[in-house]
Amino acid sequence: MTNLEGVYWDLDGTIANTELEAHLPAFNNAFNDLGIDWNWDTKKYIQLLKINGGKNRISYFAKSNKDDFSEDLILKIHETKQFHYLENIKKNCVSLKTGVFRLINELHKKKVRQFIVTSSSRIQVNLLVEYLFNGFNPFEFIISSEDVELKKPNPLPYLKAIQLSGININNSIVFEDSSPGLKSSLAANLPTIFVHSNIPIVLEENIKLNCILDSLGDENNVANVIKGPKLKKSYVDYNFLSDYLVSFSNAKN
């Protein structure tokens, strides 16, 4: 059977567009607080998003900039950045992407189990879920940066999620918005739907997708299927996801 039992959600760029709205200003505020002569503009930050994980991003940029930063300083920058990120969330700088709450609520009512698999820290995820969902937490568990030794694009985050959920991969769907995330879920052999975020990315040639959407859509905003099953409504719903699982299963066989 290919009925839908579980959905794994990426967070940044998939549930909410957080990168440019909260993460980037938080990094620049941290640099300023610590007297570091760095300022990442949007173009630079989008390039740095190829490096997954905030601490990895700082370390990579320091080396490319020929700055001799100790591990302690990198950790201090990241801790300061996290403080500013959390403050940005509290200031309501971030909102849910179009159709996300509608679909999550529908899946919840359909008894489809839902999870978050992210490279963000647990404290960031918990606060974002609290503020965006107003006390309603539909997610059974979270795989965060603290829960795995290797982050996306390694498949380990999704492999751990599969193990914890106990759901067959053929009864699961992943929503992702980035190359590292797609590489991670596809390497774990999970049916994956790519939903565009507000970060322009060019998918690498070795990333083979059979479902690409510009958004999840809602009653007032039509979703466009770039690749995948046809929509029966103007937005992505439980029935669309079920149709996608059937088409995915048939393609495999």
- Range of the structural domain that residue 218 is part of: 6-16+95-252
In a shared domain, residues 212 and 100: yes
Q: Establish if 217 belongs to a structural domain.
A: yes
Tell me: the pLDDT tens digits for 192-206?
999 999 998 878 878
Rounded CA-CA distance 226/164 in Å is: 32
In a shared domain, residues 85 and 47: yes
The confidence band for 1, taking pLDDT boundaries of 50, 70 and 90, is low
Tokens (6 digits) for 177: 């918005």
Tell me: the pLDDT tens digits for 166-198?
999 999 999 999 999 999 999 999 999 999 999
Task: Provide the whole-model pTM.
Answer: 0.91
Rounded CA-CA distance 48/216 in Å is: 26
Q: What is the CATH number of the domain that holds 147?
A: 3.40.50.1000
What pLDDT does 250 receive?
A: 76
> Other C-beta atoms within 10 Å of 239: how many?
14
- Count of domains in the chain? 2
